[in-house]
């Protein structure tokens, strides 16, 4: 009995030890590579986040022996491992290069849906094919599956013999409000492509998402969302609901000139002109002098000088010429090209300026008008 127990225990220990060795073998030792450096880069355009991660190999004395060789081969190659199929270049080293976009974008004019993608390239002497593949867990292209390609789009490389970028790098450049250029730069090649967003659509989608949460109960946020839609002339039905909530006292809103003018603008864009005018008149009844002044300035900026004059003059008369209504009259007369009248009101405003900052501003305006120039 004792021998059996001893043998059983020994067998169990050996089995456990064997399993432990197998587990240790399965957990591959990971030591940071001194050859290919892990890198990341990103940009945010509007509300769209763009990120790329890659492992950066070096030229390492192979100048003139990178492009069109086994390092970065033209076309496709059977790599001899994994799926053993014709595979494009991995556009980096080691693990697959990964590109992530948080919203739908266009790559050189072609749609790429929001998501993460393995990024590969087919290189040729005079152009390159960019490949976005749904497999993000690959080791380069050793297990490439063409059926998982989501987008293939052409671009053209730029060759400059005078440059030598040692480490493969991805660079964001030429950024605008709705686009950015992303390029692979290595040795003397630059492979650029344009990423474009639908600025209005992506911002609207982001606003709608925010309004579906806690901010949908916050009057200032509702007002800001409605005002953006009004200015962009989009999503007017929902914007009308937002501004009605934002101006409803029962919901904590403020029925003030700002909210009512936004509501009036939305109604006008919806073709409900009578309702728009009625709401605007309500706004005028509750408007504060500074609100009317700001509104008049906005109309001047839009070139609506007759409307601006009506607002500025009405504000001046109802407030008996108090600050800042004299400034408003100065501004509208200057915009209309009547320097004499503008100067008259500017000198009145000089005596009313409530602080040093405003005094300096009015003094500068007076000097400009006295030189016969409009503001």
CATH of 201-370, one of 1.25.40, 1.10.1060, 2.150.10, 3.40.50: 1.25.40
**Predicted pLDDT at 366:** 95
Rounded-to-integer distance, Cα 330 and Cα 368, Å: 12
Spell out a b/e string for 175-210, using b for 16 or more CB atoms within 10 Å of the CB, else e.
eeebebebbbbbbbbbbbbbbbbbbeebbbeebeeb
Instruction: Look over the chain and give the mean of its residue pLDDT values, rounded to a whole number.
Output: 91
Each residue's pLDDT tens digit, 175-197: 999 999 999 999 999 999 999 99
Each residue's pLDDT tens digit, 298-328: 999 999 999 999 999 999 999 999 999 999 9
Q: Where are the domains of the chain?
A: 1-30, 37-197, 201-370
Each residue's pLDDT tens digit, 217-249: 999 999 999 999 999 999 999 999 999 999 998
**Predicted pLDDT at 280:** 92
For the chain, percent of residues with pLDDT exceeding 70: 91
Each residue's pLDDT tens digit, 64-76: 999 999 999 999 9
Mean pLDDT calculated for residue range 12-16: 48
Global confidence as pTM: 0.77
Each residue's pLDDT tens digit, 17-70: 544 444 444 456 555 556 889 999 999 999 999 999 999 999 999 999 999 999
Is 296 in contact with 331 (CB distance < 8 Å)? yes
Is residue 7 scored above 70 in pLDDT? no
Is residue 4 scored above 60 in pLDDT? no
**Predicted pLDDT at 19:** 45
């Amino acid at each position: 009995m004792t021998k059996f127990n001893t043998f059983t225990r020994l067998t169990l220990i050996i089995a456990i030890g064997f399993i432990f060795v197998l587990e240790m073998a399965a957990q591959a030792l990971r030591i940071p590579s001194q050859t290919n450096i892990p890198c990341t880069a990103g940009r945010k355009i509007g509300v769209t986040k763009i990120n790329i991660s890659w492992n950066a190999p070096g030229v390492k004395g192979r100048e003139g022996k990178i492009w069109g060789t086994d390092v970065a081969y033209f076309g496709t190659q059977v790599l001899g491992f994994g799926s053993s199929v014709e595979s494009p270049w991995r556009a980096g080293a080691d693990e697959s290069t990964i590109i992530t976009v948080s919203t739908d974008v266009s790559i050189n004019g072609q749609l790429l849906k929001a998501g993460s993608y393995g990024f590969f390239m087919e290189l040729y002497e005079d152009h390159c094919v960019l490949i976005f593949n749904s497999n993000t867990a690959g080791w380069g292209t050793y297990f490439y599956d063409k059926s998982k390609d989501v987008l293939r789009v052409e671009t053209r490389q730029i060759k400059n013999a005078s440059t030598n970028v040692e480490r493969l790098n991805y660079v964001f450049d030429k950024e605008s409000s709705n686009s950015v250029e992303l390029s692979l730069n290595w040795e003397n090649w630059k492979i650029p492509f344009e990423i474009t967003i639908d600025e209005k659509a992506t911002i609207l989608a982001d606003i709608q998402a925010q309004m579906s949460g806690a901010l949908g109960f916050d009057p200032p946020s509702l007002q800001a969302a409605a005002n953006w839609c009004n200015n962009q002339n989009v999503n007017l039905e929902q914007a009308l609901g937002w501004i009605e909530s934002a101006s409803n006292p029962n919901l904590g809103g403020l029925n003030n000139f700002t909210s009512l003018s936004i509501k009036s603008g939305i109604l006008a864009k919806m073709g409900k002109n009578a309702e728009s005018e009625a709401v605007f008149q309500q706004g005028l009844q509750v408007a504060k002098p500074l609100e009317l002044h700001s509104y008049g300035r906005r109309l001047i900026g839009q070139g609506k000088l007759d409307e601006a004059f009506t607002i500025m003059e009405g504000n001046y008369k109802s407030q008996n010429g108090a600050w800042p209504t004299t400034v408003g009259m100065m501004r509208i007369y200057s915009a209309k090209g009547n320097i004499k009248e503008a100067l008259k009101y500017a000198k009145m405003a000089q005596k009313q300026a409530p602080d040093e900052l405003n005094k300096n501003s009015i003094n500068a305006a007076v000097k400009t008008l006295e030189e016969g120039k409009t503001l």
